[in-house]
Every structure is written in C-alpha cells, then in structure tokens.
Amino acid sequence: MLEIKDLTVEIGGRIILNKVNLKVEQGSTTVLFGPNGAGKSALLMTLMGFSGYDIVGGQILFKGEDITHLSVNERAERGLGIMTQRPPNLTGVKLKDLVQVINNDHSLDTEAASKKLDMERFMDRDVNVGFSGGEIKRSELLQLSAQNPCLYLLDEPESGVDLVSIEKIGTTIDEMLSSRSKCSVDHRKRGNSALIITHTGQVLDYVEPDVGYILCNGTVMCRGNPREMLKEIKAQGYQECIECKVGHL
C-alpha cells in the first residue's frame, strides 16, 4: 500500500527525517512509536504533502505509484487521509458544510455518522473553533469517514482526550479500519490500512496492530511486534528500543 524509501526531509533547512524506510501493507495497521521530537508527526505531514516539509531525498510510493511530488489534494484523491494533532480553525466554515463537500459521492449517511460520534451539536459550528481536544478528534473522524481513505494517517488519536471519548474514538477507528475498502489491491485481505502514531498505546486497546516501528532522531530504528515494543517501551523507555532489543530492521 505504502512504501517509503530512504526518505530525507528538511524543515527550514534542518534535517528532520533522515533516510526513513517504512512499509505499510494492504490492510495492515502499522504503529509508529518514538520519543517526542523524533519526527513522527513530520513523517505523517510529509506523507500528506503539506508545505514546509521539504523532501530532499528518497521516494514515497503509494499503491506502486510515486507520489513524492504530488499535491495534497492529489494524494487525498488517491486515498490518503490524515488526522493531524492540531488542525487549524476555519472561521465561518460550518462543519456540516465541510462534511457535505467531502461526502460528495453521498456514500456516508452524515446524520447517522454525526450522531454516532456525538457531533450533532457541532454541525452548525465553525470547524475546530472552540472545540475541545476530544471534539477535534471526533470532528476529524467524522470528516475521515466521509472521505473514506484507503490509508489512514492518524497522529496520536488519543492525545488530549478524556477517557469516555477515548473509547468512542478507539472503537470508531477500529470500525473504519475494518470496514469496506474501496481500494483493495489484494482481495484476500479485508479492511483499510493505517499508520498510527501513539505515545501511550491507549488506542491499541481498541485497534489491533500488525506491525510496529520505532522512530528516533529522525530515522527508523526498529521494526517488530507492536505489542512487544509497547511493553518494552513502557518498562524501559526508548533507550532499550533504540538498541533494538525487541525488533530488527
């Protein structure tokens, strides 16, 4: 589904990601661990094509196509969808209108979807303006479910969210990942693909991960069993992982 080859990225002339290699298989939920400042968010932003993340080396392949230099919306059209940590306020843009525009093929019952995510009250509000942490995440998920991407790029879906919301967010993500995929290249596998950043691993209470990666200092240190990785990180911090006791490249 996604293949990142020797990807090197600069922000303002400073190298943030250095020769990153990573793969997300069709239908796989891949988890990205790493300490603060490792470059995890930068990797997701780069994959989506946001400006300010200058690719100075390497390649991004999506479903076999080189998308390294495509625009943001071209990537979205090909099936990438992102939930960022801090989406911008869109003053005057009603959530209802945005969801309707995204849902241009009318495949989503927006009323039911907003009800399920407890976002009905927010449909007439300006997108993200005055939203709490949990409300932002639920709004992002509502937009993503209208978008229905093949690959979900989720940046810490549990951060800034209270315990009740976490359950709603976690189960929704699980449903979205295991639901129909409009872009399966391998018909033996069901469901969508995901690359999820998590700090605490809380989201893994709801979503079954297949593969884990650890990113440190802008580069991938290990690849391995995500549950074991998380256990090790919880016990030892990232030092152990950096030494790759639990994984291998």
Partner 1 sequence: MQSGTSLKERAEKAIEKSAMYGEDYDLNEFEVAAKEVPQTEDLEDLDDEFKQTLLNVGVLTDDKERSGSFLMVDNAVSHSSLKDPNIELMSLHEAMEKHDWLKDYSWKLVAVDADKYTAKSYLENANGYFIRAPAGQKSSMPVQTCLVMGHKDIAQTVHNILIVEEDAKLDVITGCTTKKGVERAMHLGISEIYVKKGGVLNFTMIHNWADDVSVRPRTVIHLEEGASFVNNYILLKPVRSIQSYPTAILDGEGAFARFHTIAVAHPGSELDLGSRVLFNAPNTKAELISRTITTGGKVIARGEMVANKPHCKGHLECHGLVLKDGGTQLAIPVLEANVADVELTHEAAVGRIAREQVEYLMARGLSEEDAVGMIVRGFLDVGITGLPEELAKDIDDTIAQIGKEAV
* C-beta atoms surrounding 21 within 10 Å: 15
Whichever of 36 and 91 has its CB closer to partner 1, that residue is 91
Q: Which of 48, 42, 33 is nearest to 15 (CA)?
A: 42
**In the complex, what is the shortest distance from the CB of residue 91 to partner 1, in angstroms, rounded to a whole number?**
6
Whichever of 33 and 152 has its CB closer to partner 1, that residue is 152
Whichever of 87 and 133 has its CB closer to partner 1, that residue is 87
Q: For the chain, how long is the longest CA-to-CA vector?
A: 51
Can you give the binding site for partner 1, defined by CB under 8 A? 48-51, 71-73, 75-77, 80-82, 84, 87-88, 90-94, 97-98, 101-102, 104, 126, 143, 147
**In the complex, what is the shortest distance from the CB of residue 184 to partner 1, in angstroms, rounded to a whole number?**
19
Whichever of 84 and 159 has its CB closer to partner 1, that residue is 84
**In the complex, what is the shortest distance from the CB of residue 150 to partner 1, in angstroms, rounded to a whole number?**
13
**In the complex, what is the shortest distance from the CB of residue 119 to partner 1, in angstroms, rounded to a whole number?**
16
The three-state DSSP-derived secondary structure of 206-226 is: CCCCCEEEEEECCEEEEEECH
With left for phi above 0 and alpha for psi between -120 and 50, is residue 122 left, alpha or beta?
Answer: alpha
Provide the angle, in degrees to the nearest 10, between the axes of the packed helices 95-102 and 133-147.
Answer: 30
